[in-house]
Structure 1
Amino acid sequence: MSKPLSDPREGRPGLSRRTLFAGASTVGALAAAATLIPRAQPTAVTPAEPRPAPEKGGGYSLSDHVKQYYKTTQI
C-alpha cells in the first residue's frame, strides 16, 4: 500500500482566497466609513478669567463640580 498524497498547502500557513477577500472587503468598508465621518472643526477656546485671590488665604471653593463629586461619594 502506498501512503496517500498530502495536500502541499496543509503544512504551511498562508492566505486562503477567502481570508484575502474578507480582509480586502474589511479595509474597503473602513475606508468608506472614514470618508463619511465629518471632520471636527477646531474651536477657539477662550481662557476663563482667573478669580481674585482670597484675602485670608486658602483657595478652596465649593464649585458645582465639587458638589457633584461629594454626591457620588455618599453611601
Structure 2
Amino acid sequence: MSESKPKPSRRGFMLGAAVAGAATAAVVALPKVEGEQAPTAEQTPPAPANGGGYRLTEHVKQYYKTTLI
C-alpha cells in the first residue's frame, strides 16, 4: 500500500503565489496598531555618571546562573 503524493502543479503554485501576494498587500494596507511603544526619556533611568551603562539586573543574574558548569 504505497501512498502516492500529488504531483505539484503550475496551477497550484500560481494560486499559492496569488494568495501570498494578497495577504502581503492586506498587511501593508492595514492601519498600524499602536501597542507598547519604546520607552521615552522620562521612563528610562539616567545614564551612569562614569559612563558605561551596564546594570546587574535580575535578568542578567539569571543568565549568569545558567552558564555555570
Q: TM-score, normalised by structure 2?
A: 0.40
Which structure has the larger Rg?
Answer: 1
Q: TM-score, normalised by structure 1?
A: 0.39
